[in-house]
Structure formats: C-alpha cells, structure tokens
C-alpha cells in the first residue's frame, strides 16, 4: 500500500507570514511530486510540480523535494487570505497518482 | 486551451437508483482518470484509462460501478444501484503522455453526487 501523508492541520498563519506544508511518501521509486490547491466546493488546481531534489520556486510558492528522506514540502511566502484552502500533496509512481488527505490552511487577515 | 469538462455538476438521487457522469478530457490527453473524493479526504482513484484501454481499475467497486471510454476521448462513469455511501464528488482528470511530456494531471470541475 503506497501512502502519502500530510501534516494533519488545520494550519493557521497571519497574513504576510510563511506557511509551511509538509508531505511524506512511502514508495522510494516515486518519480514526480505535485501540490494542488483546493478551495471549498471546488476541484483541485495544480499549483506546483517538482521532479528532482532541491527547491523550485514559482512566485510566492517554493516546493522542496528530498528523495532520500522521502519528503516534499510547500512554502507559501507572504501568505494572503486568498491562499486559504486545502492543499493536497500528490505523488506519481509509474502511471499512478497517490494523494494525501490534504492540509487545511487559513490565512488570518 | 479548454480544460477538462464534466457533467452534470450536481446530481441528487435516491438509493438504488442509477446515475451516469460524463467527462471530456483536455484535447490530446491520452490518459483519463476517475476519482472519488469524500468530504475531508483526498481523491481516491477509481479507474484509469490510457486511450480506450483500462490501465487500473483495482479500486473500482465493480458490482455497482462501471466506466467506459469507447473512442479514447470522452468517458462515462456509471453507478447502478447507488448506495448512501456513494455520496461524494466524482472528479475526472486527464494527463498528456508522450515524448517530452510531464506527468501533470488536470482536474475537471467535478460532479457532486448526493444519494438520499
């Protein structure tokens, strides 16, 4: 059973702070890693993908991957109330994708 | 580029009735997924198609769920008969596969099913 685990949350941060979301996965041969944002009542929206060890930055978002530790994280800098959502970690192994249960983030104005 | 289309967006039925959901993937995307998402949980894969062939249906409750993608483009997911525990959002996603492509998958808006 391949597992993807995320920090349980809910997570609350003040506006302008850094939000840190964490994810671990069990399958060492996993190849690709994704972060999705899901607003309440909406479908998941892809915000970041990362394929190799290290950091990948896109605007206020930074994804970090450490394959040796089987760990992937998402940092959101200068958090905004519009970032309030559930963040899903997804791991791709071969043709299959495995999702975590999500971490709920609330950014407090 | 148009995204993944799904219909209907909402459906309310009584238990033991049947229901069907439709999905049209992003043009050119060979891989299509159906997920079930129960409130508070991550998406759970029901079935994966590569063109018109099934790649993985290991978590599809085959006694009541069926899916097809006859021409390798759009797909239909059916539930017959529905149970109360089938109340969930049914998400369709697609992914381009091929030389130089990444593994990103994109979701449609989903169909929210309520079984009474």
For A28, A37, B14, B26, B79, the CA distances from B5, given in Å and listed in that order, are: 34, 19, 25, 8, 19
What local confidence, expressed as pLDDT, does residue B101 receive?
57
CB within 8 Å: B43 and A88: yes
A95 contact residues in B (CB cutoff 8 A): 31, 48, 50, 55-56
A96 contact residues in B (CB cutoff 8 A): 45, 48, 56
| Long-range contact pairs involving B95-104 (C-beta distance under 8 Å, separation at least 24) | B95/B29, B95/B30, B95/B31, B95/B33, B96/B26, B96/B28, B96/B29, B96/B30, B96/B31, B97/B29, B97/B30, B97/B31, B97/B50, B98/B30, B102/A32, B102/A49, B102/A51, B103/A31, B103/A32, B103/A49, B103/A92, B104/A34, B104/A46, B104/A49
Q: Is the pLDDT of residue B102 over 70?
A: no
What percentage of chain B exceeds 90 in pLDDT?
A: 84
What local confidence, expressed as pLDDT, does residue A96 receive?
82
What local confidence, expressed as pLDDT, does residue B99 receive?
59
Over residues B53-70, mean pLDDT: 94
Over residues B56-61, mean pLDDT: 93
CB within 8 Å: B102 and A96: no
Q: Hey, which residues 52-111 in chain B have their CB within 8 Å of chain A? A: 55-56, 89, 91, 102-110
What local confidence, expressed as pLDDT, does residue A93 receive?
84
Q: Is the pLDDT of residue B34 over 60?
A: yes
| Number of A–B residue contacts, CB under 8 Å | 49
Q: Is the pLDDT of residue A2 over 80?
A: no
Facing B42 at nearest CB: one of A46, A96, A101: A101
Q: Is the pLDDT of residue B100 over 60?
A: no
Model confidence band, residue B1 (pLDDT cutoffs 50, 70, 90): low
Facing B103 at nearest CB: one of A32, A36, A88: A32
Over residues A52-74, mean pLDDT: 95
Nearest to B44 by CA among B73, B98, B7, B85: B85
CB within 8 Å: B102 and A45: no
What local confidence, expressed as pLDDT, does residue A97 receive?
87
């Amino acid at each position: 059973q391949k597992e993807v685990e995320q920090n349980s949350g809910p997570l609350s941060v003040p506006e302008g702070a850094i939000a840190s979301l964490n994810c671990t996965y069990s399958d060492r041969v996993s190849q690709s890693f994704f972060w999705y944002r899901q607003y309440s009542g909406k479908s998941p929206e892809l915000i970041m993908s990362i394929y190799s060890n290290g950091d990948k930055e896109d605007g206020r978002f930074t994804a970090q991957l450490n394959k040796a530790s089987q760990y992937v994280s998402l940092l959101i800098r200068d958090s905004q109330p519009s970032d309030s959502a559930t963040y899903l970690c997804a791991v791709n192994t071969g043709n299959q994708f495995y999702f975590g249960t999500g971490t709920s983030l609330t950014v407090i104005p | 580029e148009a995204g993944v289309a799904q219909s209907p967006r909402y459906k309310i039925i009584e238990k033991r009735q049947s229901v069907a959901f439709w999905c049209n993937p992003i043009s050119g995307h060979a891989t299509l997924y159906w997920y079930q998402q129960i409130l508070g949980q991550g998406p759970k894969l029901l079935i994966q198609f590569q063109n018109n062939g099934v790649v993985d249906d290991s978590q599809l409750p085959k006694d009541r769920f069926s899916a097809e993608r006859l021409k390798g483009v759009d797909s239909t997911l059916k539930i017959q008969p529905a149970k109360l525990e089938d109340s969930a959002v049914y998400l369709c996603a697609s992914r381009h596969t091929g030389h130089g492509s990444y593994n990103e998958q994109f979701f449609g808006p989903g169909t929210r099913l309520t079984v009474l």
